[in-house]
Structure 1
Amino acid sequence: MQIIEQQIKTKLSSSAKFYGYIPDVSQEIDPAAERPSVLICPGGGYVMTSDREAEPVALNFVAAGFNAFVLRYSIAPARYPVALLEVASAMKLIRKNSAAWHVDPKRVIIAGFSAGGHLAANFATSWDRDLVTEYGYHADEIQPNGLFLGYSVITSGKYAHVDSFKNLLGDRYGEPELMSKVSLEKQVTKSTPPAFIWHTVSDDTVPVENSLLFAEALEAHQISFELHLFPKGGHGLSLGTSATAIKSNGYGLEPTVSAWRDLFVAWVQNNI
């Protein structure tokens, strides 16, 4: 397996780290193999990027037949839209190297957990708008073909995870126009890619209504999506297995939700 580590540079930053996990192509099995690929944005309230939602998730995707990439994007005190541009540059990098990395260019998925899910959804709803008109990216080089959201921050309204938005916006938190722009249930368009979404109903940090609002917006725009709601489990469960549970207290071990990986793989096979 090829492991890649490099810095992501944009017009606003140069501090993001990009990691790639690319299985070798077997000359015996399929020398021309192209794989679906996932760019993962770990969560962390825009003040950290969680280890539990980074490499362990990437390796799990690799085991399922994907190329996996992790973006350790800029966090506070960096402010919007720094991380968003880093996602665009990471996506551009993946597409630029699609042949060398055996990436299927028609199956590149942006993924995120918690606040990383907000970043992923922000990118998925803006890839052909501001990123093109204001920052000079070409739509065809950054287009996401699918969107994965795990217990994601979505809305800046009634069900907001307030600290994520304060960390993202800094002194601009509360500006009506900007608050609306980063409330992503309001930003879905016809060009938003198909989505796979999961959440726990009992999430006591990011209310499940975040995912419900986004799903409702997708439905209103006739965007295909698959939504899974699990009846129990807190926030930040990642894989729900011992691989991502916190050793000191066992938090994150929730077998009920661990089914999401296989559900996601099947969704990609059938929809992307």
Structure 2
Amino acid sequence: MLTFSQSIAGIDGTAARFDGYVLDNSPELDMGRRRPAVLILPGGAYAMTSDREAEPVAVNLLAHGFQAFVLRYSCAPSVFPTALVETAEAMRRIREHADEWHVDPGRIVVMGFSAGGHAAALFAEQWDGALLAGHGYEAEAIRPNGLALGYPVITSGPFAHRGSIDNLLGERKDDPQLLDLVCLERHVKAGTVPPTFIWTTATDDAVPAANTTMFVDALLAAGVGVEAHVFPTGRHGLSLGTEETADTPERVESCVQVWPDLLAAWIRGVVR
């Protein structure tokens, strides 16, 4: 297995970290094998990126036969659109190095948790827009083929996780145009947002499940394919819901532990 860490220069003078976890091909199996890839954006309220939603999730995806990458995007005091541009660069690198990293370039999923879910979904809405084109990115080089979200921050409206939105926008946190842009349930468009897998818990104590259900409603209204799971119990920030990713006993939650298997089946069946 190849592991590596690279730097991505931020547009504000900061730097993101791009980590790769790449399975080798074997002559006993298929030297030409290309695997789906998942770019993981950890959560952390746009103030940090959580370890619990980074390498442990990547290793789990490797066990399912996928190549995995983690983007430690720039957080506060960095503000919009720094993380968005860094996500575009990470996607460009994965597709550019598809041969070297044994990636199927038509099966690259962007995945995020909590505020990282907001970053992933924002990218899924903006990858073919003028903002990223203005930073020199060709849309087809950064196109996501799937979107996967775990207990995501979605809205800047009444059900917002206000800390995440404030950290993302900084001094412009009251700008109505920016608040509308980052209110993601308002901007789902068929042909831009790819098929989506999304999960949350009914008892999320920080980011209300309404964030997920509002986004699901918007996806359905736009005709975007979606698989959604609302598990009955569990606090915010569960990651895998196992002892491996739990920082407190309350973050071990058996009912959510199936989500990686559900995601793997969805990638194999839908992201093609």
TM-score by shorter chain over 0.5? yes
Distance 1:29 1:218 in 2: 39
Paired residue for 2:137?
Answer: 137
Deviation string, structure 1 residues 224-245 (Cα, Å, up to 9, x no partner): 0100000100100000111101
Distance 1:141 1:254 in 2: 38
TM-score between the two structures when normalised by the length of structure 2: 0.97
Which runs of 5 or more structure 1 residues have no equivalent in the other structure? none
The residue identity in structure 2 corresponding to 1:44 is G
Paired residue for 2:102?
Answer: 102
TM-score between the two structures when normalised by the length of structure 1: 0.97
Distance 2:13 2:33 in 1: 34
Paired residue for 2:252?
Answer: 253
Distance 1:134 1:33 in 2: 35
Aligned 1:52-201 pairs, distance under 5 A: 52-190=52-190, 191-201=192-202
Q: Percent identical across equivalent pairs?
A: 51
Distance 1:209 1:152 in 2: 10
More divergent stretch after superposition (12-21 vs 54-63)? 12-21
Distance 2:125 2:54 in 1: 23
Distance 2:14 2:77 in 1: 14
Deviation string, structure 1 residues 194-242 (Cα, Å, up to 9, x no partner): 0000000100100000011111111111000100000100100000111
Whether contact under 8 Å (1:10, 1:89) holds in the other structure is no
More divergent stretch after superposition (202-211 vs 8-17)? 8-17
Paired residue for 2:204?
Answer: 203
Distance 1:133 1:73 in 2: 19
Q: Offset of 1:111 from its aligned partner? A: 0.2
Distance 1:251 1:49 in 2: 20
Paired residue for 1:233?
Answer: 234
Whether contact under 8 Å (1:7, 1:14) holds in the other structure is no
Deviation string, structure 1 residues 38-57 (Cα, Å, up to 9, x no partner): 00000000111000000000
Distance 2:199 2:7 in 1: 30
Q: Offset of 1:14 from its aligned partner? A: 4.5
Paired residue for 1:218?
Answer: 219
Counting matched residue pairs gives: 270
The residue identity in structure 1 corresponding to 2:257 is S
The residue identity in structure 1 corresponding to 2:153 is V
Q: Offset of 1:27 from its aligned partner? A: 1.2
Q: Offset of 1:126 from its aligned partner? A: 0.6
SS in 1 for 2:258: helix
Distance 2:34 2:91 in 1: 17
Distance 1:125 1:182, change over 3 A: same
Distance 1:143 1:13 in 2: 25
Whether contact under 8 Å (2:85, 2:132) holds in the other structure is no
SS in 1 for 2:18: strand
SS in 2 for 1:124: helix
SS in 2 for 1:243: helix
Distance 1:73 1:44, change over 3 A: same
More divergent stretch after superposition (134-143 vs 57-66)? 134-143
